[in-house]
Amino acid sequence: MSQKIVVMLVDDHAVVRAGYRLLLKQSDRIEIVREAERGEEACQYYAESRPDVVVMDLSLPGIGGLAAIRRIRARDPQARILAFSMHDEIVYVERALEAGAGGYITKSCAPEILVEAVLAVAHGEPYIETEIAQRLASQKVVGAKVKLESLSAREFDVFCLLAQGFTPREVADQLRLSYKTAANYSTLIKSKLGISTSAEMAKLAFQQAIFKV
C-alpha cells in the first residue's frame, strides 16, 4: 500500500461524489484518484488504477453496485471495498458482504464515520456501522430470506423496484435496461420466489423489512 490510501469513488451522482471528496479530504492519509458513475466503469477503472479502497454505492445504473463488487473481487480477491449506501436494511448489508465488501456504512452516518471506515477497510479490518452491526448480529434466518438469497444481484435490484410498485417499463427506465429484459426478469423472479403478483412481492419485501414503512 502506498503512503497515502488511494481511493476510488463510485456513485452515479456527481454532487454526492463531491461530498465524498470533501469528507475524505479531512484526512491527510487519503488520496482520491478515480471516480466512476456506473458499475462497469468501476470495474474498468479498478483494473487500470488498482486503488487501495473502493467506496461503492449499491444503487448504480448498468450492472449495479453488488455485481460490480463481485466482478472486482473475482478479478482481484484482495480488493478492499466499502459499501456506502442509502439502504440500512439488513438484507442489503448481507448481500454486500456476501459479494465481497469489507465494510458497510450508510449515507446517513456521521461524517467522520466515512473517513474511519475507509481507513479500517484499507488496513484489512472489517467495518460495519455500529447500529447496523447490532441488528445484523441479531437477525434470524427465515424462509422468506432464503428465497430472496436465491436471486442474483440484478434480480434483487429488479425485485426491489417491482415491490415498490414500479411497472416493468419503469424498472427498465430506472435500471437502463430494455423493456423486454425487465419483463423477463419480472417473470423469472416470480418463478424463483413462487409468487405471481407484484402485490405478493411487496408483501415479501415488507416481511423482510427491505423498505421502511
Same domain, 34 and 52: yes
Total domains, the chain: 2
CATH number of the domain bearing residue 97: 3.40.50.2300
Whether 212 maps to a domain, the answer reads no
Same domain, 78 and 15: yes
User: What pLDDT is attached to residue 122?
Assistant: 94
pLDDT at 98 over 90: no
Residue-range definition of the domain harbouring residue 187: 143-207
b/e sequence 163-180, b meaning 16+ C-beta within 10 Å: beebebeebbeebebeee
Tell me how far apart the alpha carbons of residues 45 and 7 are, in angstroms, rounded to a whole number: 11
For 151-164, the pLDDT digits (tens) are 888 999 999 999 98
Same domain, 73 and 158: no
For 119-151, the pLDDT digits (tens) are 999 998 989 998 888 777 665 444 556 677 788
User: What pTM was estimated for this model as a whole?
Assistant: 0.67
Any bridge partners for residue 34, and if so which?
Answer: 8
Same domain, 72 and 147: no
